[in-house]
Amino acid sequence: MYWNKTIETMDRPRLMQLQLERLRETVRRVYANVPAYRERMDEAGLAPDCIASLADVNKLPFTDKTDLRDNYPYGLFAVPQGDIVRIHASSGTTGKPIVAGYTKNDLDVWSEVVARCLGCANVGAGDTVQVAYGYGLFTGGLGLHYGAERVGSTVIPISAGNTSRQLMLMEDLGATAVACTPSYALMIGEMLRDASFDLGRLKLKVGIFGAEPWTEGMRDRIEGLLNIKALDIYGLTETIGPGVAMECMEGRYGLHVWEDHFLFEILDPDSGEPLPEGEQGELCITSITKEGMPIIRYRTHDLTRVIPEPCVCGRTHRRIHRLRGRTDDMLIIRGVNVFPSQVEAAIVGIDGIAPRYMLVVDRVNSMDVLEVQVELTPDIAISEVRRLEELHSRVNRAIDQTLGLSVKLRIMEPGSIERYEGKSKRVIDNRISV
Ligand code: DLL
């Protein structure tokens, strides 16, 4: 279901022409209004009208998290403070947060792109959307909220947490869609299963899950537990929040990036050079309509690749593969690169093992040791020794095959790995603190 058919199905030459016009305008605007961008461009010998074609985007200097931190809080804003009507922020891991500012028009664009995402999930007027992303400085709650209002659905702005209340309202208010992190969806689903809840009492059809990496296996699991279709939504505070890209119900593979607002490149994470189409690399995003805090060539650190083939849904905006993880989440263990999502892919679907895990890294006698903690499902008693041994070797084999690395496996009792209502923490790296 399209929200904005004209734009969503615009032919590519016209779309690219629109991108070029908007890119040129954005570059002129940041040159005129943001000293940090102007200095960078001057250093690189770039004039404000240096963009003649879309390919010229790669002349522009990159922006990274450190630039946002160095210009904290308002240094990268391109409009007077009086034109900023909303602030959001993402906490990050250390120090000051990343702050983003929105003009009235930015909020309008944001609702528009989220509305398109909801259209991708066939959510519209007549639907009831339970927004269980956190509300506040985090962009998830309010981002989905205004998008859902824009399409005319009824919004339940419940925010994350208080799972039993979530379930009561989900049933009583007849929610047809839920938006939250995949971790929280799993938690809700498991709670229903443990309570032997009759899913027939819910009207839920679809889930809009993002804000953290998740796998196809996790999708199957959540779809089974909640009897819904689960779709992936992507975005980040620096570019707008949720709504940069979204999977559609028809294609269900790859996320359409709303290219009339976001120009994207896939780069070699080390060299920063563009990669051949279809190769996995780091997603780099330039916002081409943002007014409050436009962002030029932002190094997201998120890893993905373009899916060049057109989608069956008819949308012309190109798709990216589900995000694999972040370059900065990648662990290097004895020379082998490990992403937490690989562990998820290995263990999810193994009978008796919950799709929940934690990676603990230590350095023992100057050797990196990776401990993978997984959890039994409640139906398996810790005393079933034979079953446990079988599971131990099965999980070990699956992890070994996926990671190409032997790990220390710890199978834990049900409920021992922490559950998250927002983004999950998957790694404890003790090498950093020692
Ligand atoms: O997580 C915005 C958001 C809210 C997206 C709700 C989707 C749904 P930040 O807190 O700034 O913003 O975190 C952005 O989260 O760079 C990715 O590393 C990760 N991320 C977001 N969506 C996905 C996804 C929000 N679908 C960072 N798959 C990004 C994988 C995701 N990672």
CA gap 381, 414 in Å, rounded:
9
Q: Whose CA is nearest to atom 9 of ligand 1?
A: 236
Instruction: List, for residues 236-268, the tens digit of each pLDDT value.
Output: 999 999 999 999 999 999 999 999 999 999 999
- pLDDT score at 260: 98
CA gap 153, 91 in Å, rounded:
30
Q: Whose CA is nearest to atom 1 of ligand 1?
A: 211
CA gap 181, 211 in Å, rounded:
6
CA gap 182, 243 in Å, rounded:
16
CA gap 264, 287 in Å, rounded:
9
Counting from 1 in the atom list of ligand 1, the atom nearest the Cα of 423 is 1
CA 57 to ligand 1 centroid distance, Å = 24
CA 47 to ligand 1 centroid distance, Å = 33
- pLDDT score at 272: 97
Q: Which residues contact 331 (CB under 8 A, 6 or more apart)?
A: 337, 338, 339, 340, 359, 361, 370, 427, 429
Instruction: List, for residues 317-355, the tens digit of each pLDDT value.
Output: 999 999 999 998 999 999 999 999 999 999 999 999 999
Burial of 356 (0-12, 13-18, 19+ CB in 10 A): buried
The owner of tokens 């020692």 is 434
Question: Which ranges in 65-202 belong to alpha helices (H)?
Answer: 65-70, 104-120, 139-150, 163-172, 182-194
CA 218 to ligand 1 centroid distance, Å = 17
Q: Ligand 1: which of 208, 236, 240, 247 to mutate, judged by most atoms within 8 Å of the beta carbon?
A: 236
- pLDDT score at 93: 60
Query: How far is CA 424 from its chain centroid?
Result: 12
The H or E element containing residue 19 is helix 12-33
Mean pLDDT on 265-272? 97
CA 251 to ligand 1 centroid distance, Å = 21
Is the pLDDT confidence value at 105 over 90? yes
User: Looking at per-residue confidence, does 280 or 381 come out higher?
Assistant: 280
Q: Whose CA is nearest to atom 27 of ligand 1?
A: 236
Q: Which residues contact 77 (CB under 8 A, 6 or more apart)?
A: 34, 84, 101, 292, 293
Instruction: Look up the pTM and report it.
Output: 0.97
Is the pLDDT confidence value at 427 over 80? yes
Counting from 1 in the atom list of ligand 1, the atom nearest the Cα of 324 is 30
Q: Whose CA is nearest to atom 28 of ligand 1?
A: 213
Confidence of residue 95 (pLDDT cuts 50, 70, 90): confident
Instruction: List, for residues 156-194, the tens digit of each pLDDT value.
Output: 999 999 999 999 999 999 999 999 999 999 999 999 999
- pLDDT score at 301: 97
Would you give the DSSP letter of residue 274? B
Ligand 1 is surrounded, with C-beta below 6 A, by 90, 133, 138-140, 210-213, 232-237, 241-242, 300, 302, 323, 326
Query: Is the separation of the CB atoms in 260 and 25 below 8 Å?
Result: no
Is the pLDDT confidence value at 379 over 90? no
Tell me the residue type at 345. A
- Both tokens assigned to 209: 């899950």
- pLDDT score at 382: 73
Is the pLDDT confidence value at 421 over 60? yes
Mean pLDDT on 267-272? 97
CA gap 265, 257 in Å, rounded:
11
Counting from 1 in the atom list of ligand 1, the atom nearest the Cα of 233 is 26
Query: Is the separation of the CB atoms in 425 and 417 below 8 Å?
Result: no
Query: Is the separation of the CB atoms in 302 and 283 below 8 Å?
Result: yes
Residue 87 bridge partners (DSSP): 101
Q: Mean pLDDT across the chain, nearest whole number?
A: 96
Q: Ligand 1: which of 114, 222, 302 to mutate, judged by most atoms within 8 Å of the beta carbon?
A: 302
Mean pLDDT on 262-291? 97
Instruction: List, for residues 23-59, the tens digit of each pLDDT value.
Output: 999 999 999 999 999 999 999 999 999 999 999 999 9
CA 48 to ligand 1 centroid distance, Å = 31
- pLDDT score at 433: 59
CA 90 to ligand 1 centroid distance, Å = 10
Query: How is the beta sheet containing 298-304 ordered, strand by strand?
Result: 262-267, 281-287, 298-304, 325-326
Is the pLDDT confidence value at 381 over 80? no
User: How far is residue 403 from each of residues 158, 225, 417, measured CA to CA in Å?
Assistant: 39, 27, 21
- pLDDT score at 96: 87
Query: Is the separation of the CB atoms in 253 and 261 below 8 Å?
Result: no
- pLDDT score at 434: 47
CA gap 204, 110 in Å, rounded:
25
CA 423 to ligand 1 centroid distance, Å = 9
The owner of tokens 């209502």 is 421
Ramachandran area for residue 345 (φ above 0: left; ψ -120 to 50: alpha; else beta): alpha
Would you give the DSSP letter of residue 177? E
CA 281 to ligand 1 centroid distance, Å = 17
